[in-house]
């Protein structure tokens, strides 16, 4: 008998859609399976004002395939000059769903991020007052800190002090990659904190990047850590704990930009994420927890209803996805989980 799994249509709580030709190429890959996505604002230049967010949302809506049922949830990129009044109006009109904090220099297109947290306190207090969540890229940028330690150090030196300064602010620690991240979020008693976990961080560890030749397509930020950290992420994702939810961090870069002497960070996983996740949850004997992780916990954190539509996966012969998608800017390589995918999206 064919095994099938029907879920509420999932959402992606951390996604890079880019702009222009790349947006047109990658958006259908997400809108095919996902109902909504939190859209990252790290364009060049970044999406910093309400006017920027309106214009970007209109470009996304214009690029949607005919008949797609997909809602982009917009974010603003927090800078040291963000105007609390502009942000408040953007939130209250329903234009934005969250604000994104990048420590300056932490990752791709983060040069306009925050250096001095004192300069953003008024904005963070406004956000706490209107209950607008802050999505955090949780890595320190101090060149003296080893890249594999940057998440753990961020928790102790930035995130925890920030939460103590603005205790009512709701925070999503994004794309957690360590057991430290899992432990910190799990220890928060007050429902003020959530965490997204990517598809690829549930599958790869740092050996995938570095053993048997360097594999630039597995390089992303935060960089994948030891296997025991990957295992802690899987345990959190399948635990049923509502603080953990899917944010693919699907981050397309063209192959020439990945396969370079200074290759870009980012894994593109929009197309095959649901097949990958079903495989991971099935192997862990936790298929019954997939709907919570991909379709229920995120909306609950954001105070939104789950999607009413559903998505059905069926188990069978391995499904093949194209190795690349073509864009006018060049090919983008799809995430290779390194094992066969038996779960296909049926409808």
The yes or no reply on residue 249 touching ligand NCD (CB under 6 A) is yes
**DSSP character for 79?**
-
The yes or no reply on residue 137 touching ligand NCD (CB under 6 A) is yes
Q: Considering beta carbons, is residue 107 or 275 the nearer one to ligand NCD? A: 107
Please state the separation of Cα 257 from the chain's center in Å. Answer: 21
Q: Which of ligand NCD, Zn ion, none sits in contact with 107, Cβ below 5 to 8 A by type?
A: ligand NCD
- Chain position carrying tokens 């709580």: 13
CB-based burial of residue 203 (10 Å sphere; 0-12 exposed, 13-18 middle, 19+ buried)? buried
Residue nearest to Zn ion (CB): 249
The yes or no reply on residue 251 touching ligand NCD (CB under 6 A) is yes
The least CB distance from residue 99 to ligand NCD, in Å, is: 15
The answer to whether the bond into 85 is cis (omega within 30° of 0) is no
The least CB distance from residue 110 to Zn ion, in Å, is: 10
Q: Interface with ligand NCD by CB under 6 A: which range of 90-98, 104-112, 187-195, 287-295?
A: 104-112
* H or E segment and range at residue 100: strand 96-101
319: tokens are: 């499904």
Site for Zn ion in 166-225 (CB under 5 A): none
Please state the separation of Cα 74 from the chain's center in Å. Answer: 13
The yes or no reply on residue 279 touching Zn ion (CB under 5 A) is no
Out of 116, 249, 282, 288, the active site residue is: 249
- Taking the C-alpha atoms of residue 307 and residue 299, their distance in angstroms, rounded to an integer, is 9
Q: Which residue in 107, 126, 141, 196 binds ligand NCD (CB under 6 A)?
A: 107
- Taking the C-alpha atoms of residue 184 and residue 202, their distance in angstroms, rounded to an integer, is 18
The yes or no reply on residue 249 touching Zn ion (CB under 5 A) is yes
The least CB distance from residue 309 to ligand NCD, in Å, is: 27
CB-based burial of residue 117 (10 Å sphere; 0-12 exposed, 13-18 middle, 19+ buried)? middle
Catalytic, 241? Answer: no
Site for ligand NCD in 258-287 (CB under 6 A): 265-266
Torsion of CA 85, 88, 94, 98, to 10 degrees: 120
Residues of this chain that interact with ligand NCD (CB under 6 A) are 16, 42, 107-109, 137, 220-221, 249, 251, 265-266
Residues of this chain that interact with Zn ion (CB under 5 A) are 249
The catalytic residue positions are 249
């Amino acid at each position: 008998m064919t095994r099938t799994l029907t879920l509420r249509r999932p959402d992606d709580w951390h996604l890079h859609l880019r702009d222009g030709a790349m947006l047109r190429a990658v958006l259908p890959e997400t809108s095919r399976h996902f109902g909504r996505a939190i859209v990252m604002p790290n364009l060049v230049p970044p999406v910093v004002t309400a006017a920027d967010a309106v214009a970007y949302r209109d470009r996304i809506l214009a690029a949607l395939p005919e008949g797609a049922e997909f809602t982009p949830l917009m974010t603003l990129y927090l800078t040291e000059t963000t105007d609390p009044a502009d942000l408040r109006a953007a939130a209250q009109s329903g234009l934005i769903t969250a604000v994104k904090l990048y420590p300056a220099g932490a990752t791709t297109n983060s040069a306009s991020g925050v250096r001095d947290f004192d300069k953003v306190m008024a904005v963070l207090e406004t956000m706490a007052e209107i209950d607008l969540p802050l999505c955090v890229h949780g890595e320190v940028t101090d060149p003296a800190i080893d890249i594999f330690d940057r998440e753990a150090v961020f928790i102790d030196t930035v995130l925890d002090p920030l939460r103590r300064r603005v205790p009512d602010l709701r925070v999503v620690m994004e794309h957690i990659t360590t057991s430290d991240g899992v432990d910190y979020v799990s220890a928060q008693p007050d429902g003020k904190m959530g965490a997204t976990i990517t598809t690829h961080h549930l599958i790869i560890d740092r050996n995938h990047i570095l053993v048997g030749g360097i594999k630039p397509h597995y390089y992303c930020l935060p960089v994948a850590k030891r296997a025991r950290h990957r295992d802690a992420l899987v345990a959190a994702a399948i635990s049923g704990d509502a603080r953990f939810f899917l944010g693919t961090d699907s981050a397309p870069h063209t192959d020439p930009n990945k396969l370079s002497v200074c290759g870009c960070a980012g894994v593109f996983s929009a197309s095959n994420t649901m097949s990958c996740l079903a495989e991971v949850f099935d192997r862990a004997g936790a298929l019954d927890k997939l709907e919570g992780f991909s379709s229920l916990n995120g909306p609950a954190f954001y105070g939104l209803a789950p999607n009413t539509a559903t998505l059905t996966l069926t188990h069978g012969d391995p499904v093949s996805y194209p190795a690349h998608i073509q864009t006018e800017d060049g090919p983008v390589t799809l995430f290779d989980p390194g094992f066969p995918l038996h779960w296909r999206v049926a409808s």
